[in-house]
Amino acid sequence: MNTENGSMAGRKPAMNPAQIWNMSFGFLGIQIGFELQNGNVSRIFQTLGAEVNELAILWIAAPMTGLIVQPIIGHMSDNTWGKFGRRRPYFLIGAILASLALFIMPNSPSLWVAAGMLWIMDASLNITMEPFRAFVGDNLPDRQRTRGYAMQSFFIGIGAVIAGALPWMMTNWMGLSNTAAAGEIPETVQWAFYIGGAALLLAVLWTVLKTKEYSPDQIAAFEKARHEALGLADAAANTVRRGASQFFTGGMIWIVIGALFAGFVMHARGEPRPDWLGSIEVGKELYILAGLIAAFGAIQIFAGMLRNSGKDDNGFMEVVNDLFAMPTTMRQLAVVQFFSWFAMFALWIYGTPAVTDYHFASPDPTSQGYQDGADWWSLMGSVRNGLAAAAALAFVVVAAKIDRRRLHCFNLTVGALGFGAMMLFTDPALLWVSQLGLGIAWASIVSLPYAMLAGSVPAKKMGIYMGIFNVFIVVPQLIAATLLGFLITAFFGGEPIYAMAIGGVSFLLAAIATLFVTDQASAAPAAAMAEAA
């Protein structure tokens, strides 16, 4: 790897700006894919006949896929080494599959096909995206990790700008129709997905061909030197093994909670209807939440059985054991991630219906007003993500001068104000005001927590811990997918704009939780950090 030489033996060499650029460039394509998904899938679902209160449950495929795929890919990439390195094979395989999914999605003939394609598309994007997070931790020393994740955030912003603007540009610059017959997807959306699929593959190919990786032995040597300089315990040591009895006890508790919650949903939906519910409607999607709770218990029971039988030397047990042996910093950041991503999922699911209804007064997906509102909201996504790209570059400078925790807290608070502005300003032309806060928060969410995390986990488990960390992105999305529809229907008269209020409160809770995070880079003495970095 062509790097600047470190001044001290054992120090991981710094990478020059061009190398960091090449290493991160693939995220441009990944985010084009994710933004096309996030900005247009609700539109496709509604075009194919979905009701607003059905959107959240249809979206459940995406987080379910991430929950399964990310830890698996993280574990596999930690234990891969070949001609194309450790992480890059997964970049390429995922990019090919995701590009094919992007070509097929806008041609879905029915709602169930579109829901299935969302599952496949999200799985493919996760195969590509998850190792990219570990890639930065592998290649960059501590002193450059904020810069590396900020560069990823920059490309996330630029990719989202391109993807968000594509449908609007197809309509206003190329003259393609943004309306279609009932049940048909507009050609502007179709062409946006075709262009996005090609861009995704080309961007990831650039990173695969232009970047090299350190071998596992080199990474282990760098990590050993780093921990000696910091005076820390050997991070490569095996984590404490959770006992079979602990797995059984924890599993039974989660199964009982899931069963009780399912019983509550059954009672609330039964006849005669319980008087204490009043006008509140309990949706059947809450059964899924009950099932997820019980499933986590079942996983622990199975892990306990494997441990008892001595059949615990496998990837499944490594993932489950590491989940319960997370470093303290990771546990603290998990709370921050939970509330941050709950808010973002509210924005992605309900952004289009909220704007078309609240700002354009056109909730009917077959109307011209709805399609104009959907195009405008997609363009506002470009504004939001353009601001995020600019903010990411600013973080490189600002994070070197102030505590990363306080910076992230501030950014999330600004994001909460952005959600509030969506409700305050009813004129669509003023939606850009809300995007200021949301863009800054988004840039922070996809960079600063990862920079804080990378220095707190063992280098040899970087992939698996990044995968587990992403579980705390997926879990709030699953809860949002099962709970948001119920909350909006039961308490807000089915008005999707109130999902933005829920998002704002969630951002504020994340901001508060950030102040309780232990950031190793901030806690270590400056001299030791300089030597280790």
Q: Which of 119, 182, 96 is nearest to 371 (CA)?
A: 182
Whether pLDDT at 168 is above 80: no
Whether pLDDT at 429 is above 90: no
Residue 197 or 136, more confident: 197
Whether pLDDT at 16 is above 70: yes
Average pLDDT, stretch 379-400? 80
CB atoms within 10 A of CB 382: 23
Average pLDDT, stretch 353-378? 84
Whether pLDDT at 38 is above 80: no
Whether pLDDT at 371 is above 50: yes
* Contact by Cβ (8 Å): 439, 388: yes
Instruction: Please tell me the predicted confidence (pLDDT) of residue 227.
Output: 63
Instruction: Please tell me the predicted confidence (pLDDT) of residue 171.
Output: 81
Instruction: Please tell me the predicted confidence (pLDDT) of residue 235.
Output: 46
Instruction: Please tell me the predicted confidence (pLDDT) of residue 511.
Output: 96
What percentage of the chain carries pLDDT values higher than 70?
A: 88
In whole angstroms, how far apart are CA 498 and each of 331, 338, 362, 424? 30, 19, 17, 12
What percentage of the chain carries pLDDT values higher than 90?
A: 20
Instruction: Please tell me the predicted confidence (pLDDT) of residue 56.
Output: 66
Whether pLDDT at 8 is above 50: no
Whether pLDDT at 340 is above 90: yes
Residue 399 or 463, more confident: 463
Average pLDDT, stretch 71-89? 82
Instruction: Please tell me the predicted confidence (pLDDT) of residue 477.
Output: 76
Instruction: Please tell me the predicted confidence (pLDDT) of residue 400.
Output: 66
pLDDT grade, residue 531 (50/70/90)? very low
* Contact by Cβ (8 Å): 371, 439: no
Residue 226 or 409, more confident: 409
Instruction: Please tell me the predicted confidence (pLDDT) of residue 500.
Output: 92
Whether pLDDT at 261 is above 80: yes
pLDDT grade, residue 522 (50/70/90)? low
Residues belonging to the chain: 533
- For the four alpha carbons of 469, 470, 474 and 476, in that order, the dihedral sign comes to positive
Whether pLDDT at 5 is above 50: no
Burial class (CB in 10 A: 0-12, 13-18, 19+), 205: middle
At 214-223, the pLDDT tens digits run 887 787 787 7
Instruction: Please tell me the predicted confidence (pLDDT) of residue 372.
Output: 83
At 92-121, the pLDDT tens digits run 999 999 999 899 888 888 888 888 888 888
* Contact by Cβ (8 Å): 28, 155: yes
> For residue 156, which amino acid is it?
I
Whether pLDDT at 37 is above 50: yes
Highest mean pLDDT: which range of 97-111, 225-239, 498-512: 498-512
Highest mean pLDDT: which range of 132-141, 260-269, 420-429, 505-514: 505-514
Q: Which of 356, 375, 491 is nearest to 426 (CA)?
A: 356
Instruction: Please tell me the predicted confidence (pLDDT) of residue 485.
Output: 77
Residue 338 or 488, more confident: 338
Instruction: Please tell me the predicted confidence (pLDDT) of residue 520.
Output: 60
Whether pLDDT at 333 is above 90: yes
Average pLDDT, stretch 324-346? 89
Instruction: Please tell me the predicted confidence (pLDDT) of residue 62.
Output: 67
Instruction: Please tell me the predicted confidence (pLDDT) of residue 201.
Output: 94
pLDDT grade, residue 233 (50/70/90)? low
Average pLDDT, stretch 24-44? 85
Instruction: Please tell me the predicted confidence (pLDDT) of residue 418.
Output: 94
* Contact by Cβ (8 Å): 380, 435: yes
Buried b (16+ CB within 10 A) or exposed e, 392-424: bbebbebbeeeebbebbbbbbbbbbbbbbbbee
